[in-house]
């Protein structure tokens, strides 16, 4: 089983899209193993986006992610990263497929609603950055037999 981090970003929170976004991942069959709402500190934002430091969009990105609360989720499932990214849609919302989160709700790259880990390794690293191990649950769902082969 893979794990991936999802951040429901400030624009989605402010637009009242938390529920519909969570629903997309649940309907896909991904299991929520951790979830919380928080105000992102500048320190955490800089750690999370460290790979982009020095790029022209870095400081605006830090300002954006710290501007309003976010919801972070740790999701688990087979090929969770790929499944979540397909559910989220292309980075540029106008290029995202209809039916994806960004395709249905987004307009601009700088307000693209959701972050999803880009690899299983980054999923694990990002989850470790945002969650204490005690905040992650391991449990069996009865419906998994109808989702997983």
Q: How many Cα atoms occupy the beta-carbon half-sphere of 102 within 13 Å?
A: 25
In sequence order, the 6+-apart residues with CB closer than 8 A to the CB of 48 are 65, 126, 129, 130
In sequence order, the 6+-apart residues with CB closer than 8 A to the CB of 71 are 7, 8, 13, 18, 22, 35, 36, 37
Residues labelled as active-site residues:
115
**Are the C-beta atoms of residues 81 and 2 closer than 8 Å to each other?**
yes
Strands 70-77 and 31-38, sheet pairing: antiparallel
């Amino acid at each position: 089983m893979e794990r991936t981090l999802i951040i429901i970003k400030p624009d989605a929170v402010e637009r009242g899209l938390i529920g519909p976004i969570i629903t997309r991942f649940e309907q896909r069959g991904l299991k929520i193993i951790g979830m919380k709402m928080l105000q992102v500190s500048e320190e955490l934002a800089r750690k999370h986006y460290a790979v982009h430091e020095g790029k022209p969009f870095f400081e605006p990105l830090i300002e954006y992610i710290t501007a309003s609360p976010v919801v972070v989720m740790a999701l688990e499932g087979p090929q969770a990263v790929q499944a979540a990214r397909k559910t989220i849609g292309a980075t540029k919302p106008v290029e995202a497929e209809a039916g994806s989160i960004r395709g249905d709700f987004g307009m601009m790259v700088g307000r693209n609603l959701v972050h999803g880990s880009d690899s299983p390794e980054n999923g694990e690293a990002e989850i470790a950055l945002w969650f204490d191990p005690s905040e992650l649950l391991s449990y069996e769902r009865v419906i998994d037999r109808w989702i997983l082969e």
